[in-house]
């Protein structure tokens, strides 16, 4: 009897709820906490990505000014006496400085950070902080859009290539070899010359097409290993058709490398879009970090702050996606899962 009472008292401690029995939000909180603990650099990347997404989605709420607003001030170099003399003596305009005779207001060009303009102003007197916030939308649009195009097309083509093999695989892989044979930047420059006005959507689609080859390679290699598994052979035995086998049995088991390549490629596409804008091949209407870096470069000797601020935003965004992609690779790849302890997922 005493022994039964002891067991009854210990029962709540022995039979604790497992993680799978807890609510969904609790499970995700535990997973993310374990991920941040075991992969601190990946956690830093996730935080950076979260900040960039927040800026892109809620940019209109956190920007201080209209990104196209030009800030002005009363011309401090204006000399009213010299200006009055120049009205009667035109020769004064030949010797005086232009700013001394410019009456009215002038733009706040390349101002250093202050309480009114946290990151200063650009070459036209616009608030740099607001423009960087709105430039994140362009970066995310291109990065996420091109990554989705490349990944979805790579999934479809890679699945078909590896599953059917034979002639289908040979033809598809030779097409991918041809696509990868050309330098990507050369193709983008050529495409920019062919299209009269390369919009942001056109650049996103072209970048996504160029990334199909690498995505297809990754998916194909994963499918080649999965198609020989016992569960696939069992599905064939019971009469499942090819579409069902690929959709229900193979694809769910190759999602890990797909997630990794999707996350890692976003930073690459953001950097390529900035490069195109830096070279003058971006959308002339949209605010782009690449165009802002180029403007800062042209005035870097006397006003280096603009190039540093925009370049820092671009660097940290790309770094965030790269760190998160590397951490996800370690978490989802069974061969790397033992590094640094339990990954959390």
Q: Which residue has the tokens 């690929």?
A: 246
pLDDT tens sequence across 161-185: 999 888 999 999 999 998 888 888 7
Residue 112 Ramachandran class (φ > 0 left, ψ -120 to 50 alpha, else beta): beta
Q: Would the pTM of this model clear 0.85, i.e. be above it? A: no
Average pLDDT estimate for 2-10: 49
pLDDT tens sequence across 31-69: 788 888 888 888 999 999 999 999 999 988 898 899 999
Q: How confident is the model at residue 17 (pLDDT cuts 50, 70, 90)?
A: low
Q: How far is CA 165 from CA 115, 162, 178, 223, 250, in A?
A: 63, 5, 19, 11, 15
Candidates 88, 116, 86, 117; CA nearest to 101 is: 86
Q: Hey, where are the domains in the chain?
A: 73-107, 128-332
Instruction: Determine contact, residues 49/320, Cβ cutoff 8 Å.
Output: yes
Q: How far is CA 139 from CA 2, 52, 288, 314, in A?
A: 69, 9, 7, 9
Average pLDDT estimate for 211-218: 92
Instruction: Determine contact, residues 151/217, Cβ cutoff 8 Å.
Output: no
Evaluated on CA atoms 41, 43, 49, 52, the torsion sign reads negative
Q: How confident is the model at residue 137 (pLDDT cuts 50, 70, 90)?
A: very high
Residue 164, SS3?
Answer: helix
Domain topology for 128-332? MetI-like fold (1.10.3720)
pLDDT tens sequence across 248-273: 889 888 888 898 889 989 999 999 99
Structure tokens that stand for 128 in this block: 């740099």
Q: What percent of the chain has pLDDT over 70?
A: 87
Structure tokens that stand for 65 in this block: 């000014």
DSSP state of 199: -
Q: Which residue has the tokens 């009114």?
A: 116
DSSP state of 279: T
Residue 13, SS3?
Answer: helix
Residue 198, SS3?
Answer: coil
Q: Which residues contact 305 (CB under 8 A, 6 or more apart)?
A: 110, 112, 113, 119, 120, 296
Q: Which residue has the tokens 């072209």?
A: 206
Give φ, ψ of 253 to 5 degrees.
Answer: -95, 0
């Amino acid at each position: 009897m005493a022994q039964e009472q002891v067991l009854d008292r210990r029962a709540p401690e022995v039979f604790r709820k497992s993680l799978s029995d807890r609510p969904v939000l609790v499970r995700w909180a535990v997973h993310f906490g374990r991920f941040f603990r075991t992969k601190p650099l990946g956690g830093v990347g996730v935080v950076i990505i979260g900040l960039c997404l927040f800026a892109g989605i809620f940019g209109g709420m956190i920007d201080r000014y209209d990104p196209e607003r030009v800030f002005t001030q009363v011309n401090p170099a204006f000399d009213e006496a010299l200006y009055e003399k120049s009205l009667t003596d035109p020769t004064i305009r030949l010797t005086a400085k232009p700013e001394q005779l410019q009456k009215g207001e002038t733009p706040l060009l390349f101002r250093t950070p202050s309480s009114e303009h946290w990151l200063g102003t650009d070459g036209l007197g616009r608030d740099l902080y607001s423009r960087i916030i709105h430039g994140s939308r362009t970066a995310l649009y291109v990065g996420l859009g091109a990554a989705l195009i490349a990944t979805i097309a790579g999934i479809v083509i890679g699945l078909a290539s590896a599953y059917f093999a034979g002639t289908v695989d040979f033809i598809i892989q030779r097409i991918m070899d041809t696509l990868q044979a050309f330098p990507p930047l050369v193709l983008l420059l050529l495409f920019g010359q062919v299209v009269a006005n390369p919009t942001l959507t056109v650049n996103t689609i072209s970048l996504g097409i160029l990334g199909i080859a690498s995505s297809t390679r990754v998916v194909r290699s994963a499918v080649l290993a999965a198609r020989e598994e016992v569960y696939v052979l069992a599905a064939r035995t019971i009469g499942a058709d090819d579409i069902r086998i690929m959709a229900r049995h193979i694809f769910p088991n190759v999602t890990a490398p797909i997630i990794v390549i999707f996350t890692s490629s976003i930073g690459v596409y953001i950097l390529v879009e900035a490069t195109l804008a830096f070279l003058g091949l971006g959308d002339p209407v949209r605010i782009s970090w690449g165009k802002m870096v180029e403007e800062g470069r042209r005035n870097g000797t006397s006003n280096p702050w603009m190039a540093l601020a925009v370049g820092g935003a671009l660097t940290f965004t790309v770094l965030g996606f790269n760190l998160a992609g590397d951490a996800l690779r370690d978490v989802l790849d069974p061969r790397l899962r033992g590094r640094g302890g339990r990954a959390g997922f």
